[in-house]
Amino acid sequence: MKKVLVVDDEPAIVTLLEYNLKQANFEVQSATNGVDALSMAENGQFDIVLLDLMLPQMSGEQVLKQLRMDRNDTPVILLTAKDTEFDKVFGLEMGADDYIPKPFSPREVIARINAVLRRYEKSATKEGDTKPKPSGNVETTGPFTIDHKKYRVTVNNKNLKLTPKEFELMQYLVSHENQVLSRDQLLQGVWGFDYSGQSRMVDIQIAHLREKIEPDPKQPKYLKTVRGFGYEFSTGDDDAE
């Protein structure tokens, strides 16, 4: 039986979701504030979390950010009254797996949960194909040193403060150095499965990464745009050989 954590500060929504999820053969626990939600999500071994963004004590965004910083990859579906493209992309960029605007039907929520769980199971069986494992814990290319075990990137011996998703993107780019990668390839490789129509999320994440790795983000030296195709990461090491 799959275990779901429902996080919302509206008792009526929690009651509605708890009833319908139990009817669909899910085991359900709930939290009504962000602090409790984070503690339960970190320690409860849930299969998936339904997370409202507007929470007391700690926002849903803060809960999600902390989970991903702690390398907790439990699937998260955001529940929120916000329904703009920016909010949706921002949530997915932070590490959410799906986004359901309020009001919603319990039937839709259950369908989304099942879809995300199926994608995770499929991604787990193909992880070796989508995210190649590094041959060693530490890898160096150009001025960059990537410590795959400590999730750390340094440039010229200076530690870069990357978010978990920025680190995964950097890791994927380095593993495909000197290759032109389309946005769809990056979505598949970094996020683990297809986010159809979410190519803007890649552009936003690329822009954030450039701010941290480039001497001049407006004139990128390492992470270049290949117009009409996608992006290419190169430190020029191959050119020097």
pLDDT at 239: 46
36 and 85 together in one domain: yes
- pTM of the predicted model over 0.75: no
pLDDT at 130: 44
Instruction: Please tell me whether residue 145 adopts helix, strand or coil conformation.
Output: strand
What does the pLDDT average to over 99-109?
90
189 has pLDDT over 60: yes
**Residue 57's domain spans which residues?**
3-125
In a domain, 133, yes or no: no
Mean pLDDT of all residues belonging to the chain: 84
What does the pLDDT average to over 125-143?
64
89 has pLDDT over 80: no
Give 6-29 pLDDT, tens digit per residue. 999 999 999 999 999 999 999 999
Q: Which of 125, 159, 187 is the last residue of a domain?
A: 125
pLDDT at 149: 79
pLDDT at 137: 82
For residue 161, give both structure tokens. 């403060």
Give 37-56 pLDDT, tens digit per residue. 999 999 888 999 999 988 99
Number of domains the chain contains: 2
More confident call, 136 vs 50: 50
More confident call, 72 vs 18: 18
Alpha helices in the chain (DSSP H): 11-23, 34-43, 60-69, 85-94, 106-125, 127-130, 164-175, 183-191, 199-213, 237-240
195 has pLDDT over 80: no
Q: 209 and 169 in contact (C-beta within 8 Å)?
A: yes
182 and 83 together in one domain: no
Query: How sure is the predictor about 96, in pLDDT bands with cuts at 50, 70 and 90?
Result: confident
13 and 62 together in one domain: yes
